[in-house]
Structure 1
Amino acid sequence: MQEPSIDGHRPTPDRSWLRDALDAVGAEAARSADTHLLRVPLAGRAGIDLYVKDESAHATGSLKHRLARSLFLYGLCNGWIGRDTTVVEASSGSTAVSEAYFAQMLGLPFVAVMPASTAAEKVAQIARFGGRSHFVDDPAAVHAEAARIAAGTGGHFMDQFTHAERATDWRGNNNIAQSIFGQLARERFPVPAWIVVGAGTGGTSATIGRYLRYRGHPTRLCLADPEASVFHRHLADPAVTSARGPCSVVEGIGRARLEPSFLPLLIDRWVAVPDAASLGAARVLAEVLGRSCGGSTGANLWACAQVIDGMAARGESGSVVTLLCDSGERYRSTHLDDAWVSARGLDLREPMRAMAAFLAGVAPVGPTPAPPPRSSAHA
């Protein structure tokens, strides 16, 4: 047996390329303005303010732009991504769009592994940024297929569902939570009572939840989750780690399996949102704001309505903040197509009426039951 070398070392990495890559990502961040915090008109509730942070304003059109930048920095600094690395991701589309953008910036090949049902608009955007799309029929198979492709090409599987919660600096560094609090500083309720977010990877909820604790804010975190997702089921019963049955039509949030990046102990309350409520609420909000909204934004708004109705019933005042995750223009062939919606057995008329009545202060949003907040022992 050959004796190990006392002065053994790894091959010298290409530090020059790495420095240039980090500089390129840093320069992109410096060019990027912060996203707007928009106030949503809310009639009949004088002591409650509702805001949405418009993440569709990013260069790649969604909240996932922040995540993609963080994941690339994480992969570069960990030595996983080099000059010739093929980057592979499992995604429902938006993360893949943003990662394709950064891969193109660095001159790297990119492969997105996505469900075959992914909106055609997202596929076109991935191609626009030089990425290649690889489709699977079973959405639950995207992770394993992405890992297989990465291994076969000698590339790097970005694996957002594992690394999202650790790639972003939750203590600050202009993360989304720090941005929200900075933008609220001159509002009448600068510390929100609630922040409402969905979860796909769980990276955003983890970043916000950790930041709230790190800064000592009393703000509570509510999860807006599609009815078909496992996350709210796990919160209600920790023994549940997977969901069976049809998947949600809302892309970007909700999962059939409990993802490593989802940190349940950071969630104070959860609302299970029907798909029809998500799509209907998104259409109403688009009319109110004059900005097109994707289905995940509708899920967020529906959960906000549940939270606000509860605050009003208890005589509480304060602000509630949620996210406009991406533009509905990405779903013109799906969520915004009435024939597509009808073919999936969804009727948006009642949830649209209920959301319009809620925003007008006429009535509570109605029938979706809201579980009680978690006890302080879980906070």
Structure 2
Amino acid sequence: MTRTKPTNVRDWVHGAVAAIEADQHRSADTHLWKLDVPALSGIDLYLKDESTHPTGSLKHRLARSLFLYALCNGHIREGTAVVEASSGSTAVSEAYFARMIGVPFYAVMPRSTSPEKIAAIEHYGGRCHFIDDGRRIYSESAELAARLGGHFMDQFTHAERATDWRGNNNIAESIFQQMAEERHPVPAWVVMSAGTGGTTATIGRYIRYKRHDSRLCVADVERSAFFDGFATRNAACLCQEPSRIEGIGRPRVEPSFVPGVIDHMLRVPDAVSLAAMRVLSRRLGRRVGGSTGTNFAAMCFHAARMAAAGEAGSLVTLICDSGERYADTYYSDDWLEANGLDPSPFEPKIEAFLQGGGKLEMDFEESLG
């Protein structure tokens, strides 16, 4: 049998995949911090710090997976313009990988996007395509990709399928490997908020594939369709208002959201998310972002229930990104007032729980799988 020489197209794709894989090999895994909470006797809290990725957030993993998925499926070739619907961390991370393999990148975003995020995308060579109506972000992205003869990455559809949930150094495998030597190596709860739904799908599938007893709690925010879609089993649920907690919450139940792998959902009030963000930042000695606050609030909810039931075990959640990106929003009193948010009544309640290990006096909506 005669073998033909790979075409230039194949050679370029091989080089692009090799560049992304080499970048991953140069990167150390993210740290798993154990939070010191003496009041919670027998209950251990862990935070996987995704803010230490080269582009500063959990979305670095997603962007890498999306690029490999698109390359290996033949969607990206030399010179292909890559388009994404994102004004946040995903766009920053995708711009990083686009520059790495030498293709143009366009982020479709609302005109109101913060100058800090625009600057971060442009730092990696990305171009920002502004729209006035945020509801058109999906259709405008697809139309722009068509006009450019490019590829619409579409994180909200492809996030759940781009990551190998069986292993291959995905975030779930990393968590369980890092927990292996702890006193409660299999977490009672893994807690995660949802943006695309891809990370929760990966974690939930991995838990089932490895036959772990861990349960997955997904924390949602006020202005989001995910919680209602899960609670009513209706994937057509919509939310008309944009999420105030950047990176999580969506106006529709995204295609990558997989409710069947979720054991429990909480809707965390936005003011509680920001209160938990501030409490955790003080305990860590550095700022975290709002989505991390949502995660931490939900973790405290389950830790309080475990403590009340006399249960021992561990809980794991994620630090999604650094709070330095939000100096002019979540850490700004002017921004909080303009958005009608006051976290101050909730901060002492969370502190009291962490210091005393008693009840967590908060109002959460919850739904079981």
TM-score normalized by the length of structure 2: 0.95
- Quote the residue 2:275 is aligned against: 280
- Once the two structures are TM-superposed, the CA of residue 124 in structure 1 deviates from its matched residue by 1.0
- Once the two structures are TM-superposed, the CA of residue 13 in structure 1 deviates from its matched residue by 6.0
List runs of 5+ in structure 2 lacking aligned partners.
Answer: 1-5
* 1:143-182 pair list within 5 angstroms: 143-182=138-177
Which of 60, 67, 76 is 2:62 aligned to?
67
Which of 87, 93, 96 is 2:88 aligned to?
93
CA distance in 2, matches of 1:119, 1:280: 22
Cα gap change, 1:368 to 1:178, in 2 (>3 Å): same
- Quote the residue 2:50 is aligned against: 55
Please tell me whether residue 342 in structure 1 is matched to residue 337 in structure 2.
yes
Matched letter for residue 253 of structure 2: L
Please tell me whether residue 194 in structure 1 is matched to residue 176 in structure 2.
no
Contact 1:119 1:333 in 2 (8 A): no
Contact 1:24 1:106 in 2 (8 A): yes
Which of 244, 250, 260 is 2:239 aligned to?
244
Contact 2:248 2:291 in 1 (8 A): yes
Which of 114, 120, 123 is 2:115 aligned to?
120
CA distance in 2, matches of 1:323, 1:228: 21
Which of 209, 215, 221 is 2:210 aligned to?
215
Residues 109-148 of structure 1: CA deviation (Å, up to 9, x unaligned) = 1001123343332211101000011222333321111111
Instruction: Say which SS state the counterpart of residue 360 (structure 1) adopts.
Output: helix
- Quote the residue 1:228 is aligned against: 223
What percent identity do the matched residue pairs reach?
Answer: 58
Residues 259-287 of structure 1: CA deviation (Å, up to 9, x unaligned) = 11000111100110111111121111111
Moved over 6 A (4+): none
CA distance in 2, matches of 1:116, 1:366: 39
Which of 291, 298, 305 is 1:310 aligned to?
305
- Once the two structures are TM-superposed, the CA of residue 363 in structure 1 deviates from its matched residue by 4.2
CA distance in 2, matches of 1:117, 1:237: 32
Contact 1:282 1:293 in 2 (8 A): yes
CA distance in 2, matches of 1:240, 1:104: 36
Matched letter for residue 303 of structure 1: A
Contact 1:92 1:251 in 2 (8 A): no
- Quote the residue 1:108 is aligned against: 103
Which of 240, 251, 256 is 1:261 aligned to?
256
Matched letter for residue 119 of structure 1: S
- Quote the residue 2:3 is aligned against: none
Contact 1:119 1:330 in 2 (8 A): no
**Which piece of structure 1 moves more, 304-313 or 260-269?**
304-313
- Once the two structures are TM-superposed, the CA of residue 197 in structure 1 deviates from its matched residue by 0.3
Instruction: Say which SS state the counterpart of residue 192 (structure 1) adopts.
Output: coil
TM-score normalized by the length of structure 1: 0.93
List runs of 5+ in structure 1 lacking aligned partners.
Answer: 1-10, 375-379
Cα gap change, 1:100 to 1:345, in 2 (>3 Å): same
- Once the two structures are TM-superposed, the CA of residue 311 in structure 1 deviates from its matched residue by 1.1
- Once the two structures are TM-superposed, the CA of residue 369 in structure 1 deviates from its matched residue by 3.0
Cα gap change, 1:243 to 1:357, in 2 (>3 Å): farther
- Once the two structures are TM-superposed, the CA of residue 209 in structure 1 deviates from its matched residue by 0.5
